Structure formats: structure tokens, C-alpha cells
Amino acid sequence: MQKQESIAPGYWLLSLHSPQIASAAAPGQFVMLKIDKSFDPLLPRPMSIHSVIKEDNNRIGFTILYKVMGKGTRLLSEKRSGESLVVIGPLGKGFNLNHISSGCEPIVVGGGIGIAPLLFLAHKLLERGWTPSVLLGANSQQELLRLDEFESSGLIPKVSTEDGSKGVKGMVTDLLGSYLEDRKGVHGEVFACGPSPMLEKVASQAKEYGLNSQLSLEQRMACGLGACLGCVVRIRDKEGSQLSFQRVCTEGPVFNGEDIIW
Amino acid sequence: MQKQESIAPGYWLLSLHSPQIASAAAPGQFVMLKIDKSFDPLLPRPMSIHSVIKEDNNRIGFTILYKVMGKGTRLLSEKRSGESLVVIGPLGKGFNLNHISSGCEPIVVGGGIGIAPLLFLAHKLLERGWTPSVLLGANSQQELLRLDEFESSGLIPKVSTEDGSKGVKGMVTDLLGSYLEDRKGVHGEVFACGPSPMLEKVASQAKEYGLNSQLSLEQRMACGLGACLGCVVRIRDKEGSQLSFQRVCTEGPVFNGEDIIW
Amino acid sequence: MVAESSPILSIELNGLKLKNPIIAASGTFGYGLEYVPLGDLSKLGGMVTKGLCMWEEKGNPPPRICETPAGMLNSIGLENIGIENFITEKLPQLIQYDTAIIVNIWGREIDDYIKAAERLDAVNGIAALEVNISCPNIKKGGLTFGTDPSVTFELVQQVRKRTSLPLMVKLTPNVTDITLIARSAEDAGANALSLINTLLGMEIDVSTRRPSLANITGGLSGPAIRPVALRMVYQTARQVNIPIVGLGGISSLADVIKFLLAGASAVQIGTANFFDPTICWRLVDELEEYLRNENISDVNQLVGAIIEE
Amino acid sequence: MVAESSPILSIELNGLKLKNPIIAASGTFGYGLEYVPLGDLSKLGGMVTKGLCMWEEKGNPPPRICETPAGMLNSIGLENIGIENFITEKLPQLIQYDTAIIVNIWGREIDDYIKAAERLDAVNGIAALEVNISCPNIKKGGLTFGTDPSVTFELVQQVRKRTSLPLMVKLTPNVTDITLIARSAEDAGANALSLINTLLGMEIDVSTRRPSLANITGGLSGPAIRPVALRMVYQTARQVNIPIVGLGGISSLADVIKFLLAGASAVQIGTANFFDPTICWRLVDELEEYLRNENISDVNQLVGAIIEE
Ligand SMILES: Cc1cc2nc3c(=O)[nH]c(=O)nc-3n(C[C@H](O)[C@H](O)[C@H](O)COP(=O)(O)OP(=O)(O)OC[C@H]3O[C@@H](n4cnc5c(N)ncnc54)[C@H](O)[C@@H]3O)c2cc1C
Ligand SMILES: Cc1cc2nc3c(=O)[nH]c(=O)nc-3n(C[C@H](O)[C@H](O)[C@H](O)COP(=O)(O)OP(=O)(O)OC[C@H]3O[C@@H](n4cnc5c(N)ncnc54)[C@H](O)[C@@H]3O)c2cc1C
Ligand SMILES: Cc1cc2nc3c(=O)[nH]c(=O)nc-3n(C[C@H](O)[C@H](O)[C@H](O)COP(=O)(O)O)c2cc1C
Ligand SMILES: Cc1cc2nc3c(=O)[nH]c(=O)nc-3n(C[C@H](O)[C@H](O)[C@H](O)COP(=O)(O)O)c2cc1C
Ligand code: FES
Ligand code: FES
């Protein structure tokens, strides 16, 4: 654990030193982080890789952006630099960029703390030659996080807040709606992370406009390794209609919007 | 929690601000200290009041001298000043000074971390006009704690170490043995705290030389308030022979050496 | 919309009225007087005494307790001052407080329970009896009364005949099907049920290779057992028609509400008194505040209000 | 005096020889392959597969897990790929490792167990079967097989007839007297017993008022249940003559030794794999070091070596 800073009330940015994890990491992947030696809380917590830290062009560590939700994240926020944390990763399948063509327009959509995996994704897209559109939403201006980092990469996120304190007043799905309406027929792919109702909406919006969507899902986890079968979500079988349970930690956390049964 | 310092490897001195506890405290009493909000460790830990902290002659706080034994004390040693701890006290009956006459010679005997309650006792005895003899033993010179504090009060502790690195080589009960042998017939009272085998020996030594002994016992505790009946030790009934169970937290922690069934 | 009037906290346990559903549990609150320095007993819904019997019981040799992950083991061995001493030494002070004093009774054979019930029936100031059926029955070879439905039935029926006080029967969780025992107690005339008592457990000190408790095994309590307790309350609430008092690991307002949602009409706070000695008082305030914030006019609306698909 | 030769770590479970007493527990180690990136399976005494049955089982809907104080609840619903898929897809990779592969089997009726045992009997590379009798028996109205001594007896006896593989019967702790079930399994021909499976528990999410698990109840595991597991191992070891494999909350070397002292010949590590994924490997090293430091030449000397007055 290198350092930890509060970037907004209740939101923390944690920097961890780990060349191994950093060099293997792909956007959308996550780590399992055991917050404390004690048995309370017992289980490690899944956290997306928010960005990689480089030194002389070598990946030496990574950051985690998190929101204080309950016992675990509260305790984590009380840790100070110098303490060591047990972390395993990178885990899961990240966003799939292999099938998207160079002419495709990536649309990156984040709601609330859902922006966590999206900065790394945006960086990767830029590196590979795409310039994604970035749409971010939050409750209020205060909770619109990391805009500077997107901007300093040359991206200009469109933003919305529910209280109207910054950008468009409303939800990020409203932003996405007008965005897609404005460019009907665009050849693009939607990458999204955020609360479940938002993702459900994003999936149906993307579908409506004929776009593929890749959504990063959450589920409570125990092992993160595919062993406990605790983290499943409902996914449509290859055949298309049958229900199957797939593991967020192994088959996910990123799933195709069309395959998810909400 | 005001400050905490390591005074020897594995031994810590913790200063706590609490005018209420400090002003009510008597030597031999203890507090129950909940080390952490979490459920692991679950129960508060009993800790003797080592000394009171005064400011302008008012008691504003107190110190605890402790040894890292297990999970709870290890966690406590990782706490830093500024954090707050839940502490209740003062609890229990301390050393009884009411029945000892001014001509009596108090003999204060501490083994290892057993010196914790004895500094406060020595201060109180001095305040009341006695000059106690102080005998302290430990494994090694390093673990002979707080000699300076006894000395700055004008007392000159006789010391023993098991490895002979300071003072007499041997146990503190060896010191006590020769001390009592030297002053056969002395009108005194022994006050002791330390590991159980040492206390048993002290009790029999005092008895042999016709002195009363007051021993501070330990037992695992849950409530510290006399409610759970978890902390009992075997004590001889008033009648003198019948076994009764008495609570260390309420009837003790200080018991008459003669009454204890080992 | 903000509720103008105070929410109703009082509950009725089939003959036992409590001003609020927060009760201090047996064995964790002494005889009540130990906690007087920490808060006003009159604020609590009720308190249950340490388990009492017809004689002065010395209990088990020490060590009697030990800590476990998020829990503790105890083998106090039901040490108590005896019902007579309780009546003369403790009760006169206790009845000065306006709270329901519930006396927990136990015995080694049914006759011990009968005598206890008869003795306490006439005594002023006792709100109810809690019958602890988690003790070994010496007549049945040490088998716990409360692990056998027919023994439970007989015991409760016998006690029922001896007293007009409300009877709360306290069930042991160390059984295959707690609902069977619950129904036996109901059929035999219990006014209410309280569950759970401790789970039987054990700990060993590796450095000495000895059991950590002199009695070898002991009762596991505290947050560790809460999921088992909640499950048993939920299951039992679906099988009986008398009110249930839930306990086992409750240590926060959220825990209290979980037990109410699962079907308990009131709760008892046990081990939490040890690591958070003012919790009972705080829970009364927090519960009232919660009801106010959630716009719930009566705590009874929470009872059994779990939502299932 | 320092022991010159390495201490003996191997143990014999009445027909099943293990290089050391550390086994990864069913359902917490996947099919083993999930943990290959973390350590060499050949170092472990053994591993138990996720519970397998004759069909592909989807399991329960999510949410399936939730954390509790020092423990967790799961209601996976025994999701598994089925015995055929296991044999063709997993086993060929697994048998490359020099460790005892123990296949955990279950069913909804006795016939399911019989078929599973028959199918696996002939298969190469399987060291033993662990028979999970903690499942609801649909023929007996959902009652768990392992809560009834006579059903346990019949089930084990039937399985016994179908296979010459060593049988380890895994007992449920949700019973009044686990030693009765243990004796039935022994009488029916079990080679060894493993205990305990999870305690039935429940959790409620106060903010939604819904059960935290879609299945409402689930199995409690982890350090929270360790004292109950240790007590059951201790009690059972005194009542049967076949070896016992202890599990339930084991998360450290000290815990391993406690179970051995209480009478277990080997241990399984379950939930600890989740919060300490390399624990199994570390325990093998730590156990060896412990034996060396304590001058114990053979781990079997610890089995049942608890000291009681
Ligand atoms: C793949 C993945 C990546 C994630 N990445 C991030 C991230 O980068 N930043 C971030 O802030 N959060 C992230 N989360 C969510 C994060 O894991 C939870 O917020 C965290 O575990 C809560 O822990 P807690 O102890 O504070 O809360 P708890 O006290 O355990 O729970 C508080 C609330 O959060 C819910 N919750 C707990 N765990 C999860 C979970 N795993 N998924 C969904 N809900 C949960 C609980 O049901 C409860 O309602 C991610 C989750 C997943 C599955
Ligand atoms: C009245 C009283 C006053 C005390 N004053 C002091 C003091 O001033 N300074 C100090 O360092 N220690 C003191 N102790 C002992 C101290 O309470 C224990 O060392 C502490 O609780 C150990 O906690 P732990 O979590 O670190 O160890 P654990 O992991 O809980 O246990 C480590 C070992 O210590 C033993 N132990 C645990 N609790 C107690 C206990 N209450 N009494 C005896 N043995 C125990 C355990 O059995 C185990 O062998 C006092 C004890 C009592 C009863
Ligand atoms: C130290 C201790 C003593 C107890 N004594 C009694 C008792 O005398 N009678 C009784 O019915 N239950 C007794 N219990 C059980 C509690 O009342 C309660 O049922 C159990 O501890 C579970 O609740 P908890 O987890 O909130 O503590 C005792 C529990 C503890 C921890
Ligand atoms: C997620 C999970 C899945 C489990 N699946 C199985 C299973 O398929 N078959 C089985 O016999 N036990 C299963 N168990 C029970 C464990 O093997 C073990 O008996 C129990 O968890 C207690 O041990 P522990 O506290 O070390 O986890 C499962 C436990 C967990 C936590
Ligand atoms: S968290 Fe265990 S399988 Fe996904
Ligand atoms: S610690 Fe509870 S009675 Fe002493």
C-alpha cells in the first residue's frame, strides 16, 4: 500500500505497489483485497483496477477507486500508507476489445462509482487508437469523480448529475439516450459500469440502436477464483433462451448486455 | 487515547484521558478496554491502572502498562494516538490499605508484567506516609520495566532477573525469601502481582513468616461488572475450609493470599 | 411526511406487556443491579435474571469462559444465589424500577422446575417466568430436557399448572428440528417462546493441550451464532401461534430489526452487554428513531414483515 | 535435542493413505484446477471436489452468498457439472498431481448416490468418495438424509455395496446428537467420517427487508462455527472406531492442531481458502515445522492427545 487519499467525501483512491498485478492487468479486470487480518470482515472484497501506475514506462502498481459502502470499505479507508494488504489478481475477463474494428466508436458510460474500471479502459482505448466518447453521471457534482484524469488524457466527458449541480440534470442514461438519438446508425460499442438499474437501461438502449454493449456486473464474491460458485448472475445460454448461471469472477465481470437476464 | 509508546520489546505504555476514571481510581483497580469496534476480538480486555496522570494537581487521565500476549494486545499496540477507545472503570476492589497501621512495613512484590498495578500502589503508599520495600523480578534486564519511575519516587527497588542480566539471578520469590529471612518478625504486609505460580509462592512465603499477603489475581473476563460470573477463582469460605467461587472483577482482583485455593 | 406523534414501541407477549421490545438476556445481565451504574433499568422493556433454582448453586470450576471468533464460550454451570436469596436480597431493589422483571428458572429434574414455579407464583413484582429447558435432565441420563418434544411437553405442562405467571419457554438450538420442540411447548401452555440459548461448543488451548474450559464443553454465544438464531426464529415463527422472543448474537439496531422481520415480537440482548455495556439503552433510542425515520407508527408492524417473493 | 530426521506427516484413514493431513474441503476448492495458479496440488494431503451428482445441476438463483460475523452463508444449491463431465473434463488434468482426489457425491434420493458410487467405482485416479448426507431427501419430504440414523444407515450401506473405494461419510451438524448418526455410518461400513458440514443459518437485508440469500436459508461456515465443529469432532471421536476428518472454520495451524488433539486424524480447510487462498500449502509447511519444534516424530501422536484431568 503506497498511499491513499480521499478524493471526495466517502470516495477514496488507493495506490498499491505490485509490478506483477499491474503488468498483467487488462481493463475491466479486478482484484480481491483482504482488508484486515481479523475475521471481521472475513471475506476479501472485489475491486476494479482503476488505473495502472507506471515508472519509466514499466507498470509498477495500480490504483483502486472505491466508495465507502459498509464495514469493509470503511475499514479500508482507515488504513494508512505503509500497511500491507493481501491482494490477488488480476482476475476475471475484462472488456473485450478484440472484435471491435478501428472504425467503431467506443462509447464509455459510467454511473457513480461505476467509473472505477472505465479510466483504465479509456486509456487502453486511446492507446489502441480509438477516441471513445465518455458519458459520466453521478448524484451531484461532488460525486463526479476523476474528470481531470479523463480530460488530461484528451477526453471530454459529457456529464450529468441527478441534482443538476453539474452538466445535464438527470441520469447518465438520459445522456446516452440523446447521444444515441443524435447519431442514429453510428457503428459503435457501448462499455458501461454502474448500478444495476442503470446497466439494464443501457443494455436496452444499446439494443434499441443496434449496438453491442459490454457491461461490468457486480455480485457478492467469496473466492474470486471461480471455485465457490457464489457470484453467479443469470445469463442466457448460447442457444439464446435457456437460463444459465455464470460466474461474475470468471466468465465476467464483463458480460454482453444482450445475454444478461435482469 | 493520548499516546502510546513501546517501553521495551513487546511492552507498551498507553496514556488515556479520562478525568472520571482517573479521579475515582484506587491502586489495584482495573478497567475493561474494548480494543476495536470489530467482533474480532470480541470481548474487552481487563487492564490494571498503572498510574494516574495529573495536571495542576487534578487527575485527568491514567496509564496502562501492558504486554503483547495475543490478538487483542497486538491490535492494541497498533493503535495510534488520537484514536478513541471504549473503556469502563475503575472496576474491582483494589489493594486494601485501611487496616494496615502506620508502623507496618509494606512489601511490594512484582513479577514480569505484574508490576502494572504496583507503581500506582507505591505512589499511594508514599502519599499515605509509608515507604514500601519494592522487589521486582523479570526474565531479563530488558523486561525489568519502569525502574526509573520507582526511583524518581524515592524508592530503590531490589531486582532479580532469571538470566542474571541485572540484579540477583533468580526469581523475585528468591528476593522475597531472603528479604523475609533477613527481617524475621517484621510487622509487614505483602502486596504482590505476577504470574500465578509466583503468587502461590508469595502466599506461602508470607504465611511462613506470619505476614498477611494481598495478591492481585488474573482470570479471563467477559463483563468486568460482576454479571457474567465468568471470572471466578477458588476462594476459601469465611468458615475457612469450604470452597467458594469468587469473582475476580468484583470481589477481587485483590484477594488475601491465605484465602486463595490454588 | 413526518410522523407527528411518537411511534408505539410497546408490545404484548400473550399476557406480558412490555414498554418496548428490548430485553436483557439471562446470564448476561446478572441480577440487573450490576448494570444500575450504567443506565436506568426503567427504560428497558424488560430484563431476565440469571438462571435461578431452588438451591444455591456453586457452578462449574474455572476457567469458565473463553473467546472464539466473533463469539465466546461459557460454562458458568448456572451458578446462582438461589430463589430465596433472590427474593430477599435482589428483588426488593429491582422492583423499584419500572421494567418487566422476568425470572429465568431451571432444574435438574422436573420437580425442581415445579418447586421454582410454585415458589415464585405468589411473589410480587415478577412479570413472567422464563423456563430454561436447556439443562441436562439427571433423571433421563443427562439428556437435555429441551431436546425431546415429549419431555418438553411434560415439563412445560407441569410448570403451567403451578403458576398463573406468563411462561416464556427458552429453547435450545442443539436440536435437529426446533419447531417440533416449539410446538410441544406451545401445546403445553407456554405463553411465549424465547430462542435461542447457546450452541454447544468447545475450544482447546494448543499450548497446554487442554480444553480451554474446565468443563470441556460450553455454550457458544455472540455475533457468530446470529445467523443460526435468525434462521430458527424464522422457522419457528411459521410453526407456532404464540409470540416469539428472538435472541442470539444481537449487537446492533439492524440486528434487532432482522429478528423482528423474521417473526420475533421482542428481542433479548445477551453477549453484546459484555462488549458494549450500554447497548440495551441505546437500542431503545435507536429503535424509536428508526421507526420515526421510516414512518412506522407501531413497532408491531415490523414483526414478521420479511418480504419473500 | 533436535530431531534429525523429518517428522512423519502421512496418515492412514482406514484404507485411504494421505501424504499429510491437510485436505481442501468440498465446495471451497472448486474442482481443484481453479487453485492451480496458487500452488502445487501435489503438496497437499488431498482435495475434495465440489459435490457432484449424476446430472448437471444448475443450483440456486443468486444472491447465493453473504458474509456474517466471522463467517459466511452460502446457498449454492450444489451446482455442479455432473459426474460425466467431471470425469472427462477435470479428472484427466487432476490426476497429473500426486494428491488424493476425493470425490464428493450427493443426490436427492438414495438411488442417486448408488448410481454415483457405481459410476465412480471403476474410474482411475479417484482415491476415495466423500458421501455428503446433508442434502434434503425428496422421498422423505425434504428431510435431510443425515439427520436420521436409520436413513443414514441405509444410504451408506447401499453405497458401500456399490464401490470398493474408501468411503468417507460427511455428517451434518444440524442434529441433536451427531454421535448417533456417526455410529450408524460406521455400522453401515463407512471407512471414515468427515465433520462438519455447514450449520443452517439465515440473514436478512434490513434495507430491503428481504432475505440476503435468494434461497432464504443457507449454510454457515467459517471461523464462527469452529467451536461447534471442534466439540462435535471431540464427541464423535469418543464414540466411533473409524478415523475422523475434522473441519469447520479451520484457519490456522493452531486450529489444525486443536482438531487433531480432539481426535481428528486429518482436517479439511474450507472457507479459509476464500480469505487466505494459499493457506492449504502454508499449513503443510507450518505443521511440519511445528512437529519439528515440538520434537514430535509422527503427526499421529497428536491425534486424540488432548489432556483432560
Ligand atoms: C468485480 C467487482 C468490481 C468492483 N469494483 C469496485 C470498485 O472499483 N470500487 C468500488 O467502490 N466498489 C467496487 N465493487 C463493489 C465493492 O466490492 C463493494 O462495494 C464492497 O465489497 C462493499 O464492501 P463493504 O464491506 O464496504 O460493504 P458490506 O458491508 O459488505 O455491504 C454493503 C452493501 O454493499 C453490498 N455489497 C457487498 N459486496 C458487494 C459486491 N461484491 N457487489 C455488489 N454489492 C456488494 C452489500 O449487499 C450491502 O448492501 C466491485 C464489485 C465487483 C463484484
Ligand atoms: C484484573 C486484571 C488486570 C490485568 N492487568 C493487566 C495489565 O495491567 N497489563 C497487562 O499486560 N495485562 C493485564 N492483564 C492481563 C490481560 O488482560 C491479558 O494479557 C489480555 O487480556 C490478553 O489479551 P490478548 O487478546 O492479547 O490475548 P489472548 O489472545 O486473548 O490470550 C493470550 C493468552 O493470554 C491468556 N489470557 C487472556 N485473557 C486473560 C486474562 N484476562 N487473564 C489472564 N490470562 C488471560 C489466554 O488464556 C491466552 O493464553 C490483566 C488481567 C486481569 C484479569
Ligand atoms: C455468560 C453467560 C451466561 C448465561 N447464563 C444463562 C442462564 O443462566 N440461563 C439461560 O437461560 N441462558 C443463559 N445464557 C444464554 C443467553 O441468555 C443467551 O440465550 C445466549 O447467550 C445467546 O444470546 P447472545 O448471543 O445474545 O448472548 C448465558 C449466556 C452467557 C454468555
Ligand atoms: C461455498 C461453499 C460451498 C460448499 N459446497 C459443498 C459441497 O458441494 N459439498 C459438501 O459436502 N460441502 C460443501 N460445503 C461445506 C464445506 O465443505 C465445509 O463442510 C463447511 O464449509 C465447513 O467448513 P469451513 O468452515 O472450513 O468452510 C461448502 C461450503 C461453502 C462455503
Ligand atoms: S467468487 Fe467464487 S466463484 Fe466467483
Ligand atoms: S467478568 Fe463477568 S463476573 Fe467478572
Looking at the DSSP assignment, which residues form a beta bridge with residue B74? none
Chains touching chain C, criterion 3+ CB pairs below 8 Å: A, B, D
B96 close contact with C: CB closer than 8 A: no
Calpha distance B149→C256 (Å, rounded): 49
Query: Quick check: CB of B229 below 6 Å from ligand 6?
Result: yes
As given in the structure block, the three cell numbers for residue C83 are 430463589
Distance A50 CA to ligand 1 centre (A): 15
Q: Can you spell out the DSSP letters for C60-113?
A: PPSP-EEEETTEEEE-----B--HHHIIIIIHHHHTTS-SEEEEEE--SSHHHH
Q: What percent of chain B lies above the pLDDT cut of 90?
A: 85
Q: What is the number of the ligand 1 atom nearest to the C-alpha of A117?
A: 8
Q: State yes or no: pLDDT of A50 exceeds 50.
A: yes
How many Cβ contacts (< 8 angstroms) between chains A and D?
Answer: 92
Asked whether the predicted pLDDT for residue C4 surpasses 80, the reply is no
Mean pLDDT, all residues of chain A: 93
Collect all residues of chain A within an 8 Å Cβ-Cβ radius of residue C223: 40
Interchain CB distance below 8 Å, D274 and A43: yes
Residue C66 pLDDT greater than 80, yes or no: yes
C72 contacts in chain B (CB < 8 Å): 42-43, 222
Whole-prediction pTM value? Answer: 0.96
Secondary structure of C261-280 in the HEC alphabet? HHCCCEEEECCHHHHCCCHH
pLDDT band at D42 (very low <50, low <70, confident <90, very high): very high
* Partner C contacted by A39 (CB < 8 A): yes
Judge if the beta carbon of residue C226 lies within 6 A of ligand 3.
no
Residue in D30, D58, D223 nearest the CB of A226 = D30
Cα–Cα distances in Å, from B216 out to A34, B34, B157, B180, C99?
41, 22, 19, 20, 37
Reported as a single tens digit per residue, the pLDDT across A185-203 is 888 999 999 999 999 999 9
Per-residue pLDDT averaged across D282-299, rounded? 97
Q: Which atom of ligand 5 is nearest to the CA of A222?
A: 1
Taking the C-alpha atoms of residue C169 and residue C241, their distance in angstroms, rounded to an integer, is 14
Would you call B156 exposed, middle or buried from its count of C-beta atoms within 10 A (0-12, 13-18, 19+)? exposed
Identity of the residue in C38, C67, C251 whose CB atom sits nearest the CB atom of B41: C67
What is the rounded average pLDDT of the residues C260-279?
98
Place of cell 530426521: D5
Instruction: Scan for cell 416449539, then name that residue.
Output: C182
**Among D23, D28, D53, D193, which is best to mutate for testing ligand 4, by the most ligand atoms less than 8 A from CB?**
D28
Our mutation pick for probing the ligand 2 site, out of B34, B47, B67, B219, counting the most ligand atoms within 8 A of Cβ, is: B47
**B38 contact residues in A (CB cutoff 8 A):** 36, 38, 40-41, 71, 75
Q: What tens digit of pLDDT does each residue of D161-171 get?
A: 999 999 999 99
Quick one: which of B40, C101, D231, C203 has its CA closest to A40?
B40
Residue B242: count other Cβ atoms within 10 Å of its Cβ.
Answer: 10
In the chain, the amino acid numbered C194 is: S
Among the listed residues C127, C215, A212, the one whose alpha carbon sits nearest the alpha carbon of residue B230: C215
pLDDT at A240 over 80: no
Euclidean distance between CA atoms C99 and B159, whole angstroms = 56
Chains that touch A (3 or more CB pairs under 8 A): B, C, D
Distances (CA, A) of B160 to B170, B175, B214, D120: 6, 7, 21, 69
What is the phi/psi pair of residue B81, to 5°? -60, 150
D76 lines ligand 4 (CB under 6 A): yes
Could you say which of D53, D66, D135, D280 is catalytic? Answer: D135
Length of chain C: 309
- Mean pLDDT of all residues in C59-83: 97
CA distance A151 to chain D (A): 37
Domains and CATH numbers, chain B: 3-91 (2.40.30.10), 105-218 (3.40.50.80)
Q: Is the CB of C220 under 6 A from ligand 3?
A: no
Tell me the catalytic residues of C.
135
At residue A207 the predicted structure's pLDDT band, cuts being 50, 70 and 90, is very high
Calpha distance A43→A32 (Å, rounded): 9
- pLDDT score recorded for residue D122: 85
Cβ of B41 below 6 Å from ligand 2: yes
For an interface test with C, the pick among D144, D181, D204, D221 (most C C-beta atoms closer than 10 Å) comes out as D204
Residue D1: the pLDDT is 46
Question: Tens of pLDDT along B164-178?
Answer: 999 999 999 999 999
Q: How crowded is residue D179: how many other Cβ atoms within 10 Å of its Cβ?
A: 17
The Cα D245–Cα D193 span in angstroms is 6
Judged by CB atoms closer than 8 Å, whether chains meet at B40 and C70 is answered as yes
In this prediction, residues B140-145 reach a mean pLDDT of 93
Q: Which residues of A touch C69 (CB under 8 A)?
A: 39-40
Distance between CA atoms of C221 and C197, rounded to whole angstroms? 8
pLDDT of D5 strictly over 80: no
Ligand 3 contact, C20 CB (< 6 A): no
> Ligand 3 mean position to C267 CA, how many Å?
13
Q: Give the pLDDT score at D4.
A: 60
Nearest CA in chain A to B72: A38
Q: Is the pLDDT of residue A114 over 60?
A: yes
Question: Which residue of D50, D67, D276 is the best one to mutate when testing the A interface, meaning the one whose CB has the most A CBs within 10 A?
Answer: D67
> Model confidence over C77-93: pLDDT tens digits?
999 999 999 999 999 99
Closest C-alpha among A100, A99, A34, A110 to residue A72:
A34
Instruction: Please tell me the residue having the least CA distance from ligand 4 atom 18.
Output: D197
CB distance C216 to C202 below 8 Å = yes
Give Cα B201 distance to the centre of its chain. 17
pLDDT (0 to 100) of residue C294: 96
Q: Residue D229 pLDDT > 90, yes or no?
A: yes
Is pLDDT of A152 > 80?
A: yes
Question: Residues D118, D122, D126, CA angle at the centre, nearest 5°?
Answer: 100
R_g of chain A, CA atoms, integer Å: 18
CB contact under 8 A, B220 and C35: no
Q: Say what the pLDDT of residue D141 is.
A: 75
Chains that touch D (3 or more CB pairs under 8 A): A, B, C
Q: Taking Cα atoms as reference points, which of A111, A81, A72 lies closest to residue A13?
A: A81
Residues 6+ positions from A5 with CB-CB distance below 8 Å: A12, A13
Residue B240 pLDDT level (bands cut at 50, 70, 90): low
Residue C3 has pLDDT above 60, yes or no: no
Helix (H, G, I), strand (E, B) or coil at C246: strand
Sign of CA dihedral D263, D265, D271, D275: positive
For residues C303 and A50, give the distance between their C-alpha atoms in angstroms, rounded to a whole number. 44
Query: In the 3-class helix/strand/coil scheme, how is B192-221 assigned residue by residue?
Result: EECCHHHHHHHHHHHHHCCCEEEEECCCCC
Q: Name the residue of B34, B225, B245 to mutate for ligand 6: max ligand atoms within 8 A of Cβ.
A: B225
Q: Do B42 and C70 touch (CB under 8 A)?
A: yes
C74: closest CA of chain B, how far (Å): 7
Residues 6+ apart with CB under 8 A from A252: A92, A93, A216, A217, A233, A246
Position C139 scores a pLDDT of 80
Contacts of A234 in chain D (CB under 8 A): 61-62
- DSSP per-residue letters across B104-143: -EEEEEEEGGGGTTHHHHHHHHHHTT---EEEEEESSGGG
Atom of ligand 2 nearest to the CA of B41: 25
> Concatenated DSSP letters for chain D?
---SSPPB--EE-SS-EESSSEEEPTTSSTTSGGGGGGS-GGGSSEEEPSPB-SS-B--PPSP-EEEETTEEEE-----B--HHHIIIIIHHHHTTSSSEEEEEE--SSHHHHHHHHHHHHT-TT--EEEEE--SEEGGGTTEEGGGSHHHHHHHHHHHHHH--S-EEEEPPS-SS-HHHHHHHHHHTT-SEEEE--PEEEE-EETTTTEESSTTSEEEEESGGGHHHHHHHHHHHHTT-SS-EEE-SS--SHHHHHHHHHHT-SEEEE-THHHHSTTHHHHHHHHHHHHHHHTT-SBGGGGTT-----
pLDDT of residue C1: 46
Q: How far is CA C27 from CA A105, C221, D220, in A?
A: 68, 11, 26
- Which is more confident, B116 or A84? B116
Question: Above 90 in pLDDT, residue C140?
Answer: no
Residues of B in contact with C58 (CB under 8 A): 243-245
State which H helix or E strand residue A158 sits in.
strand A158-161
Contact of A158 with A170, CB cutoff 8 Å: no
A226 CB near ligand 5 (under 6 Å): yes
- Least confident interval from C78-92, C136-150, D197-211, D234-248: C136-150
Q: What residue has cell string 455428517?
A: D171
Task: Say which amino acid occupies B78.
Answer: E
> What DSSP character marks residue B252?
-
Point out the ligand 1 atom lying closest to the alpha carbon of residue D66. 47
Report the alpha-carbon distance of residue C36 to residue D15 in Å, rounded: 62
Name subunits touching B (3+ CB pairs < 8 A). A, C, D
Q: In this predicted model, what pLDDT tens digit does every residue of B27-57 receive, in sequence order?
A: 999 999 999 889 999 999 999 999 999 999 8
Burial of D70-95, coded b for 16+ CB within 10 Å and e otherwise, reads bbbbbbbbbbbbbbeebbeebbeebe
How would you class A207 by CB atoms within 10 Å of its CB: exposed for 0-12, middle for 13-18, buried for 19 or more? Answer: middle
Q: Which of C23, C108, C171, C198 to mutate to test the pocket of ligand 3 (most atoms within 8 A of CB)?
A: C198
Residue A24 in contact with partner chain D when CB distance is under 8 A: no
| Cβ atoms within 10 Å, residue A193 | 29
State whether the beta carbon of D47 lies less than 6 angstroms from ligand 4.
no
pLDDT surpasses 70 at D208: yes
For the segment C103-114, what is each residue's pLDDT rounded down to a tens digit?
Answer: 999 999 999 999
Residue C138 has pLDDT above 80, yes or no: no
H or E segment at A169? strand A168-169
B219 beta partners: none
Pull the grid cell for residue D186: 460406521
| Ligand 1 atom closest to Cα of residue A116 | 8
Q: Does residue C38 sit at the D interface (CB-CB below 8 Å)?
A: no
